[in-house]
Amino acid sequence: MLATGTDILRRGYAIAAITTYTLESTRAIVLAAERLEQPVILQAGASSYGAVGREGLAAAALAAARASSVPVGVHLDHCRDPEEIDACLALGYSSVMIDGSHLSFEENVALTRSVVSRAHAAGAWVEAELGALAGDEDVSGDAAAGAEMTDPDQAAEFASSTGVDALAVAVGNVHGFTTEPVRLDLERLRAIAAVCPVPLVLHGASGLPEDDLRGAVAAGVVKVNINAELRRAHLSALAAGLDAAGDDVRGLQKQAIAAMTEVAAEKIALLSS
Catalytic residues: 77
CA distances, 141 to each of 137, 175, 177, 190 (Å): 10, 8, 6, 28
Provide the β-strand partners of residue 168: 129, 201
| 8 Å CB contact between 96 and 128 | no
| 8 Å CB contact between 9 and 222 | yes
Whole-angstrom distance, CA of residue 226 vs CA of residue 125: 20
Go through the chain and tell me how many residues it has. Answer: 273
Helices 54-67 and 23-36: crossing angle in degrees, nearest 10, is 20
| 8 Å CB contact between 158 and 192 | no
Contacts of 109 (CB under 8 A, 6+ apart): 100, 158, 161, 162
Half-sphere exposure of residue 135, counting CA atoms within 13 Å on the CB side? 28
Helices (H) and strands (E) in the chain, counts: 9, 8
Where do the H-state alpha helices sit in the chain?
Answer: 23-36, 54-67, 82-91, 105-121, 152-162, 186-195, 210-219, 228-245, 249-272
Whole-angstrom distance, CA of residue 126 vs CA of residue 79: 11
